[in-house]
Structure formats: C-alpha cells, structure tokens
Amino acid sequence: MEQIKSLPRCYSLSFDIETVTLFLKIQKWIIPKLQEYFLKQINMMEYMYKTYGGDQKLFDDFGKEGKFFGWADSIIWNKETKDEIIYSYTFTPVEEPTDEICEKCNGTKIDSIGRDCYECHRTGKKHIFSKHHFSDALISLCSVVRLANMALLESCIEDKEKRNFFPQTDKKQLIAVEWSDTTGMCNCWISAWVDDSVLEWVKNAPNSDAKFITDAMQKTEEVLLSRKMDTYDFRFWYNTEDLFGFQVPGNACTLSTCKYGMGMFGNVGKTLSPHNVDHRFQQADFIVGLAVLNDLVEKSIN
C-alpha cells in the first residue's frame, strides 16, 4: 500500500478583490461523479430542498456549458479551460433601498442618539432584503463542495483497488473548505484543510500578502453590510509553532489550525477548526480569506 502524502485536485477557490467575486474551479474529471450524485437525490439533498425550497432540479444543469445552477440560479457559469469548469458569484449588499422613508430615523439619516442610522445605511430610505441574497450562493456552493470533499476523503484510502474513482490530474489539492447551511450561536460551522505546501508558504508569507488576505475579507463584509468595517477586526496570523489562522468580527471568531488530533483527511496536511462562528457573514469572510490564500500559494508555485 502507498502512503498518502497529498490529495488530487478536485476543486479550488479563487477571489477577485476588485469585483468582490468568488470563483469555484471544478476539475473536469470529478464532474460526472458529482452530476450522478445530484441526480440520485439522496438524503442530504432531500433535506436541503425541504429546508430551503426548490424543485429538486436546482443542480440538474451543474457542469453543463453556459448553465447556471443552485438556489436563485446564484452560481454563474464563468468559463471553461482545458482541465476545469469555472463558476463565479459576485457579492452584493444583503439589503436594497425602497422608496419608503426609514422608520428608525424618519428619513433624517441620523438615529435617536445622534449617530449615523445603520438601519437605512445613512440613506433615509427603508431597506429590505435583496432578491440576490448571498445565502443562496453559500448554500449552493456548500452542496457542491461537500461532495467534492467526499471524493477527496476517498482518495485517502491507501489501497487503490478500493477507490471508486481514479483522478486524471497531476495537480495537488492545496486548500479544501466545508461549511454548514445552518446558522446560530456557535452553530454556523466551517472547517478547512491545507496541504503541507500551504503551511510552508505561510511560514514565509510577507506582510503585504497577509494584509491582502485581511483586506479581501474586510471588503467582502463591507460590501455585504454596505458600511465601513474596523480594520482591526480582521486578522491573518502565524506563530512559530506551525499554527496559523484567520479572525473576523465577532466574539473571538476564528478559524485556525489544530495542534493535536486527526485532521479533516487523516494525517494528510493540516486542518483548521472554527471558534464562535455564528452567522454566514463570518463564513463568507473565511471562505474569501481561504480563496485568497489559495491564489497566493498557487502563484508562488507557478
């Protein structure tokens, strides 16, 4: 039996800070397996449809050229390369203005204690939830990434004859991430995994790259909430014990590497675990931070 040192690439996440766009790059070799899973409508997807609605055909067009998929068709076909199909989602504000006067500030843009009115985002107009809420995108991506991670887990089987698929790629998976569709106090779960090459990059990461990661997370939340965020609420850190992680606004809300125990894929790579992740804004921040980290490591390798 071979000793597993790395995982075959199933997918990767990427991020464009200028357009605040998240990209999901799916390796073509894994797409037929994912399509087969969605068509079977097994228990996990039945639960998703019962919880969030849908006609159970939201993923029928996954992997088909030019087709969108997911709740509210939130995941956009972007382009195709030799090895990958690339999808995208551009973050937009979670609330949009109406023509009605804001009830909290009565249209003055200032609340009762003299501060800027956050209820109307300092516009004086009543706001309502946007039709293009980012939760649709996170839940849609969650379903695809969860299946891809199952394929990665299977690749950890040391006996090749017991594997159900044979990846046709020489590329390594650098970062994997998985998150829940649930929300609530400490219940909006997210976890991540990094290849050893990512750990080596982090040890020598210049301050400019660390700042780029935090800038991307901050800009994402500023776009979602339509307001300026405190720079000091966002951190990307590393210490001499080979531990690193991310921090975003919240009560010690972090995603960081674990020192002990089995990881997301056994003894391969390093796993990052959450602390006090309560809502999807925090999930989105972490996903963006991991996507930028993936971009930076990819760039250094190539």
pLDDT at residue 272 in the model: 94
- Are the C-beta atoms of 173 and 10 separated by less than 8 Å? yes
Least confident of 5-9, 79-83, 158-162: 158-162
Residue bearing tokens 């979602």: 224
Question: Model confidence over 35-73: pLDDT tens digits?
Answer: 988 887 666 788 888 888 888 889 999 999 999 999 999
pLDDT at residue 153 in the model: 84
Question: Model confidence over 150-204: pLDDT tens digits?
Answer: 888 887 776 666 666 667 778 999 999 999 987 766 678 899 999 999 999 999 8
Phi and psi, residue 85, nearest 5°: -110, 130
Indicate whether 251 pLDDT > 80: yes
Indicate whether 1 pLDDT > 50: no
Residue 82 CB coordination number (10 Å): 5
* Contacts made by residues 30-35, CB under 8 angstroms, sequence distance 24+: 30/148, 30/151, 30/165, 30/167, 31/62, 31/63, 31/85, 32/63, 33/147, 33/151, 33/165, 34/62, 34/63, 34/144, 34/147, 34/148, 35/62, 35/63
Residue 228 CB coordination number (10 Å): 9
Phi and psi, residue 15, nearest 5°: -145, 135
Instruction: Reduce the DSSP state of residue 176 to 3 states and report it.
Output: strand
Least confident of 76-80, 196-200, 263-267, 297-301: 263-267
Rounded to an integer, what distance in angstroms lies between the CA atom of residue 253 and that of residue 282?
8
pLDDT at residue 260 in the model: 67
Question: Model confidence over 87-146: pLDDT tens digits?
Answer: 999 999 998 888 999 988 998 988 888 888 888 888 888 888 888 889 999 999 999 999
Q: In terms of pTM, does the model score above 0.85?
A: yes
pLDDT at residue 41 in the model: 62
**Nearest one of 32, 294, 265, 40 to 168, comparing CA atoms:** 32
